[in-house]
């Protein structure tokens, strides 16, 4: 099961993303469209969900009118590509993705995620924010 045990680190990671593999409390990635940020971070989040059972994560998009505009669809596609599903602990629901060990990935827009609401996400260890 090599693809489920550190597959990000076992593949050739572009130089620009290598610092994101190092431990750090805060990480940031920026760049133009088509730079691969969303794809890399979606795969990294999936890997973290496999390593850290019960991980709670939130994906925030600056402008998100519907879940179709969120990163949810991208994460769903990455799960399919990697052959990860219910047997591995991933279940896709309308508004969230359940991850191994009773973890969850939720999705929200910044307009819905004012500061007090973000602060109330008790126990969440990962957050991803995407611009428009």
pLDDT tens digits, one per residue of 69-92: 578 999 999 999 999 999 999 999
Neighbour order of strands in the sheet with 96-99: 91-92, 96-99, 103-109, 56-61, 126-130
Residue 10 in this model has a pLDDT that exceeds 60: no
The HSE-up count of residue 67 (CA atoms within 13 Å, CB side) is: 14
Question: Which residue segments constitute the domains of the chain, with CATH numbers given?
Answer: 2-10+35-130 (3.40.50.300)
- What is the structure's pLDDT at 8? 54
- What is the structure's pLDDT at 60? 78
Residue 22 in this model has a pLDDT that exceeds 80: yes
pLDDT band at 14 (very low <50, low <70, confident <90, very high): confident
Q: Which of 45-49, 76-80, 118-122 has the lowest mean pLDDT?
A: 118-122
- As a residue count, the chain comes to 132
Give the Cα separation of 130 and 86 in Å (integer): 27
- What is the structure's pLDDT at 98? 97
């Amino acid at each position: 099961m090599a693809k489920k045990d550190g597959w990000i680190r076992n593949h050739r990671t572009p130089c620009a993303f290598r610092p994101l593999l190092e431990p750090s409390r805060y990480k940031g990635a920026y760049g133009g469209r088509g730079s691969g940020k969303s794809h890399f971070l979606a795969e990294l989040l999936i890997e973290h969900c496999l390593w850290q059972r019960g991980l709670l994560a939130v994906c925030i998009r600056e402008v998100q009118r519907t879940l179709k505009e969120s990163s949810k669809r991208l994460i769903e596609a990455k799960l399919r590509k990697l052959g990860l599903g219910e047997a591995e602990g991933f279940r896709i629901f309308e508004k969230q993705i359940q991850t191994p060990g009773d973890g969850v990935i939720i999705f929200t827009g910044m307009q819905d995620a004012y500061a007090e609401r973000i602060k109330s996400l008790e126990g969440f260890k990962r957050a991803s924010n995407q611009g428009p």
